Structure 1
Amino acid sequence: MRADATRNLNAVLRTGARLLAEDPTVSMATIATTAGVDRRTVYRRFATREALLAAVFQAKLDSAEQVLDAARLEEAPVAVALHRYVEGIVPVSREWPLDVRRMMRADPVANERRETQSRRLDAFLERATTEGLLRADLAEGWTRRVLDQLVDSVAHDLPRLDPPQAADLVVATFLDGVGRP
């Protein structure tokens, strides 16, 4: 793909993610104009809003996969892996603000991919519990919900925090809040 075509595609995907998160009914023409490309460019690549939405979700899943890999959840010390994960996933949440659960009913392949990523994070939290960093007496799934909410809050409610600061805040809050006393 030519450099300008790649740049246009990235602009459309990122702009589409942001605008569709704000208004699921936004027009393709509005996305094109805001992305700074011709409407025909968008329609040539994505025949429908659903096709664009699917591409946005795939881009978000790609980014999340890279973060999970880079965090080294299975082999790095838990606190280090947790910090790497949060520091990496905060920019992903900011760049791709759409909730992937919106796509799951329509795309079973994307759903399975998201579930695989979710299982990786769940296994990491189980490891953290087994190693004694997290409390084992909490309701099943609670630590995951707390972590997800902390990440979402810092990514969207505190956008001025850079990713390392956001990770510091989330990790300290998480480990002190559901960590073992």
Structure 2
Amino acid sequence: MIDGPPHERPGAEMRADAARNLDAVLRTGARLLAEDPSTTISTIAAEAGVDRRTVYRRFATREALLAAVFEAKLDSSERVLDEARLTEAPVPVALHRYVEGIIPVSREWPVDTRRLMLDHPTAGLRREELSRRLDAFMRRAADEGFLRAGLPAGWARAVLDDLVDSAAHRFPDLRPPQAADLVVDTLLNGLGRPS
């Protein structure tokens, strides 16, 4: 006997609903927890349009939900770094790809992953590895002459992080390609070697 189309198969539909619900809970949780870290699971469930018992079955505590949000943000960030080809692509190209990709991640997952270090050590290690990759890219940019010599250690990376954060959150109407143009221009021309 041949199975019916996916919409006629209850198991597939239930799995799709569960995946949509989980995505809604994680994205809503990211937004609400970024605004107020004490937001309750019940509030998140209501805002996501999901029964709170469904959320509690998946996440026993707000901290468990927050850990899942952090993991989702780290997964997205890792994909952005991979796709930017930070070690292979020319520095300006890789930088633009990174910024254009990370701005939507920052907007979709506005939680501050610096909290990971104390509260979620495994995820904190992942965050550290992603940060090391970005630090290595910034050293490469300096070594290849795209950044002025003699800047304090970590300065260019801190400026990049601040520019990305500003583009993502203070200028939400900027589309990611436009924001990337501005960030890359500001970073490379503002910190570039004098002519």
TM-score, L = length of structure 1:
0.98
Q: Would you say 1:4 and 2:8 are equivalent positions?
A: no
Task: Compute the displacement of 1:82 (Å).
Answer: 0.1
Q: What is residue 65 of structure 1 aligned with on the other side?
A: 78
Indicate the SS of the match to 1:2: helix
Identity of aligned residues (%): 74
Q: Aligned match of 2:176 in 137, 158, 163?
A: 163
Structure 1 outlier segments of 4+, above 3 Å: none
Are 1:111 and 2:124 matched, yes or no? yes
CA distance in 2, matches of 1:33, 1:169: 38
Aligned to 1:35: 48
- Structure 1, unmatched stretches of 5+, are none
* Per-residue deviation, 1:179: 1.6
- Give, in whole Å, the separation in 2 of the partners of 1:103 and 1:17: 14
User: In the TM superposition, what is the alpha-carbon distance from 1:98 to its structure 2 partner?
Assistant: 0.4
* Structure 2 unaligned spans of 5+: 1-13
How far off its partner does 1:178 sit? 1.0
1:157, distance to aligned residue in structure 2 (A): 0.2
Matches within 5 A, 1:9-88: 9-88=22-101
**One-letter amino acid of the structure 2 residue matched with residue 78 of structure 1:** V
Q: In the comparison of the two structures, how many residue pairs are matched?
A: 181
Q: How far apart, CA to CA, are the structure 1 residues paired with 2:126 and 2:43?
A: 30
Normalised by the size of structure 2, how large is the TM-score? Answer: 0.91
CA distance in 2, matches of 1:41, 1:159: 32
Deviation string, structure 1 residues 134-164 (Cα, Å, up to 9, x no partner): 1121000000000000000000000000100
Matched, 1:147 2:155: no
Q: Structure 2: how far apart are the matches of 1:116 and 1:103?
A: 13
Q: Give distance in 2, aligned partners of 1:179 and 1:55.
A: 39
Partner of 2:5: none
